[in-house]
Structure 1
Amino acid sequence: MTPASGGPWPAVIFYMDAGGIRPAVLEMAQRLAEAGYVVLLPDLFYRYGPYGPLVPKEVFAGDVRAILGPLMATTGNDKAAEDTASLLAYLDTRNDVAARKLGAVGFCMGGGMALAAAGTYPDRFAAVASFHGGNLATDAPTSPHLLAPKLKAEVYVAAAENDASYPPAMAERLEQALAQAGVRYSTATYPAAHGWMKPDFPVYDQAAAERGWVEMLALFARNLHQVGD
């Protein structure tokens, strides 16, 4: 997705949540594009095959693990990072992309993927944001916090209150890894529930979401509009 006119523009890769590609996610990507970015929104469930589109309110009303588990099992931080090689190669073919360095943003499961991508390709990412990302610092070999020493991007991590997928102890572990690595980062805990940024989630919080958009756009503005090839 691109702005309506002008260009070239900086690029941002949008790492989706576990609800997959659906109208609300497309609308979010379009909003980001209209702010002045080439936005690449990959379907990270492509290994699964055809699905959905899923309706979050229906998913959350049913057996979430049974519905989303098989989809989520086809991807992960490591696989998303591997996929990013192809995404970067594609963006490099576009003449409407302003520079080699770009941004990444991820939501829910995509938060860890965005961090993993930026740590795997540190010379390509200047800014990365995670919104209500889960499992960002675990004992798993694919935990995003392990890539902190490689990060060159400025990082913004927005957490939800009382989020079982990202408890305070995990947040402390991630922040310690970022600080020890000398990463430029900032964090915030929003008075909202996990998933608050997604307009089709039952927990969507408009006020908190708008705050998130302000922070995200500021992050990208100060890092992506001043980078060259």
Structure 2
Amino acid sequence: MTPDAARRSAPPAAHLASEALPLTSSGAALGEALLARAGRPLDPQDRRSQHSVATLQGCVPRIDVNIPAPDGRCPATLHLPDGEGPWPAVLLFPDAGGARETFREMADRVAAMGYATLLPDVYYRAGDWAPFDTATAVGDPEERARLGELMGGLTRERIVADSGAFLEFLLSRPEVTGAAVGTTGYCRGGRMSLIAAAAHPDRIAAAASFHGGRLAVADHPESLHRAADRIRATVYVAGAVEDGSFTAEQGELLRKARSDVGVQHTVEFYPARHGFAVPDNPTYDPDAAARHWAALKELYRAHFQG
């Protein structure tokens, strides 16, 4: 196993309850059969990392892949629905803690809805970075500094370039059907989801952001409300009532900007705290998370299964 594959396969922090159990005995055979049905032999780089997991949603095949990206190769996992493809696709942007087992399980759940789901390592430029313990990272000065350095490297220009590479890769896969995908993102990833929708309007049909921060800042030249006229996707934004990084005033700024240009959108606030949708966050809220899953399912159903 390569270092990248080993890192992406690392177990979650000890305080987390995992819903996914690796099935190593038949995963490769299952993946080979799935790709054969899609009309494509396994890429040699994919073959060694093909596996499947059992989740509460059923059996979800995962493929570890490497995406040609602007500044190197970006490790990612492609999560496939069980059964015959091809399928519509979703690009999932993780929160500030980056791609980890919690988000792989979330990508499994999106895949179980019927979507080929790509979860990229958005910090690929940092190489083989060590995962964070989300329960303690913010309170630990060294870890907080390390997290800040990783986040600081994701400029808007890099997000635009990287998301273009992710979309190119995803839409080229034989497991994927259609010319446009859905996106979703959490925390920092929510902002990335909306940046991508504005930068690649022909390739993103539905975009979601959950507890994304600083989405609309009136006096900031890169505020997302200024890009409303470039978005063609239907947009769903869910903030948290207890979240100073995305306030009701920001939400209203987004609503007005999108209404003015005719973008189909929803902006609402859940009675929860920042981080409500991600199971390994200390602020995880099961009720708000369930509401988020229902909203995401309906957003994608309307565009890809309606």
Whether contact under 8 Å (2:251, 2:267) holds in the other structure is no
Q: Who is 1:154 aligned against? A: 234
Q: Distance in 1 between matches of 2:124 and 2:236?
A: 27
Letter of the structure 1 residue corresponding to residue 166 of structure 2: L
Larger RCO: 1 or 2 (CA < 8 Å, sep 6+): 1
Q: Who is 1:112 aligned against? A: 191
Letter of the structure 1 residue corresponding to residue 150 of structure 2: L
Counterpart check, 1:132 vs 2:211: yes
**3-state SS of the aligned residue for 1:127?**
strand
Q: Distance in 1 between matches of 2:156 and 2:305?
A: 27
How many pairs were matched up? Answer: 226
Identity over the aligned pairs, expressed in percent? 41
Q: Distance in 2 between matches of 1:170 and 1:221?
A: 27
| Cα distance, 1:150 vs structure 2 | 1.1
**3-state SS of the aligned residue for 2:106?**
helix
Larger C-alpha radius of gyration, 1 or 2? 2
Tell me which moved more, 174-183 or 43-52: 43-52
Q: Who is 2:280 aligned against? A: 200
Counterpart check, 1:214 vs 2:294: yes
| Cα distance, 1:49 vs structure 2 | 2.3
Whether contact under 8 Å (1:110, 1:130) holds in the other structure is yes
Unmatched runs of 5 consecutive residues or more in structure 1: none
Counterpart check, 1:47 vs 2:47: no
Letter of the structure 2 residue corresponding to residue 221 of structure 1: R
Letter of the structure 2 residue corresponding to residue 82 of structure 1: A
Whether contact under 8 Å (2:210, 2:237) holds in the other structure is yes
* 1:46-94 Cα deviation digits (max 9, x unpaired): 1222212211012134236423101101103432121111112112321
Q: Who is 2:149 aligned against? A: 70
* 1:172-202 Cα deviation digits (max 9, x unpaired): 1111111111110112210100000000000
**3-state SS of the aligned residue for 2:242?**
coil
TM-score by length of structure 1 reads 0.94
Unmatched runs of 5 consecutive residues or more in structure 2: 1-78
TM-score by length of structure 2 reads 0.71
Tell me which moved more, 54-63 or 100-109: 54-63
Whether contact under 8 Å (2:80, 2:117) holds in the other structure is yes
Q: Distance in 1 between matches of 2:214 and 2:157?
A: 13
Q: Who is 1:98 aligned against? A: 177
* 1:140-165 Cα deviation digits (max 9, x unpaired): 33322221101111110000013111
Counterpart check, 1:11 vs 2:97: no
Whether contact under 8 Å (1:77, 1:112) holds in the other structure is no
**3-state SS of the aligned residue for 1:219?**
helix
Q: Distance in 1 between matches of 2:136 and 2:100?
A: 13
Letter of the structure 2 residue corresponding to residue 95 of structure 1: P
Counterpart check, 1:84 vs 2:167: no
Q: Distance in 2 between matches of 1:94 and 1:104?
A: 17
